[in-house]
């Protein structure tokens, strides 16, 4: 191991992505110099929650502001599930391509909140992907996502809070089963929503992240990967300094105060 760190149709997710003009991409590439063993390499596997606003690139810029050399890349397409990535012929070559220190796994937004869906699709796919990652001496990290702003009424979750609780439960159960660390983005999102409601974390669709939402995710990953606080870093992704400072502080507090809760041993 290297250094630290469907009860609902998938068509719905694809339609949501299409409605905001999203397409699959492999953006977020931040390269390491050849042979630079001090440069941390991180691969993000997911979907639009990863590539909207370029989370890998945002994380890389935040890391550089903290004095860390990182290389990032992503394997992401709109509405993709972990099962899709497991079945994709491109996944294994991507894992082989970079000698990644960390590989981030992000499930489709609704599946982790629905018990039958996560047990039938998310958990089996995650088990297989984690095994593939560990076979390559790479370290997996689970990307705990955020709930929809208005919940998932069709899945029995009438509001944001009920959906977020179900998502948290799903990721933490998988984290404990596989002894995999989790970056608690969704959990931290709930804290910011409660304490600083003036910071808009969603886009107008109530699902995809705003720039602030992506920046918060990057701050959580910074704290989880480096075990350091992002508080005070100058890179703000264009956000007002006071808003960025709030997101930095909450991410640091929620990740670093209780690392064992997130499997960050």
Query: What is the CATH code for 27-262?
Result: 3.40.50.1110
Parse the chain into domains and list their residue ranges.
27-262
pTM: 0.89
Q: Check whether 32 has a pLDDT greater than 50.
A: yes
pLDDT tens figures, 152-175: 999 999 999 999 999 999 999 999
Structure letter (DSSP) for residue 225: H
For the stretch 47-73, pLDDT in tens is 999 999 999 999 999 999 999 999 999
**Which of 193, 185, 183 is closest to 161 using CA atoms?**
193
Sheet holding 139-143, edge to edge: 70-76, 40-46, 102-105, 139-143, 181-183
């Amino acid at each position: 191991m290297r250094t630290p760190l469907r009860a609902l149709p998938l068509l719905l997710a694809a339609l949501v992505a299409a409605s905001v003009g999203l397409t699959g991409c492999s953006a977020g590439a931040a390269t390491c110099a050849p042979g630079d063993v001090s440069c941390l390499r991180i691969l993000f596997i997911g979907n639009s929650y990863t590539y909207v606003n370029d989370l890998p690139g945002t994380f890389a810029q935040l890391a550089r502001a903290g004095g860390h050399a990182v290389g990032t890349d992503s394997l992401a397409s709109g509405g993709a599930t972990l099962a899709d990535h497991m079945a994709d012929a491109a996944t294994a070559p991507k894992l082989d391509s970079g000698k990644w220190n960390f590989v981030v796994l992000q499930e489709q937004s609704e599946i982790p909140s629905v018990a039958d869906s996560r047990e039938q699709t998310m958990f089996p796919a995650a088990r297989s992907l984690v095994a593939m990652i560990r076979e390559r001496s790479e370290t997996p990290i689970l990307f705990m996502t955020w709930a929809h702003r208005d919940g998932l009424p069709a899945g029995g979750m009438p509001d944001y809070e009920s959906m977020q609780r179900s998502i948290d439960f799903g990721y933490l159960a998988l984290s404990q089963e596989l002894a995999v660390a989790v970056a608690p983005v969704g959990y931290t999102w709930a804290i910011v929503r409660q304490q600083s409601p003036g910071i808009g974390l969603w886009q107008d669709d109530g699902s995809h992240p705003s720039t602030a939402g992506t920046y918060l995710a990057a701050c959580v990953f910074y704290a989880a990967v480096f075990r350091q606080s992002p508080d005070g870093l100058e890179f703000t992704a264009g956000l007002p300094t006071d808003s960025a400072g709030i997101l930095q502080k909450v991410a640091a507090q929620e990740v670093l105060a209780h690392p064992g809760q997130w499997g960050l041993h």
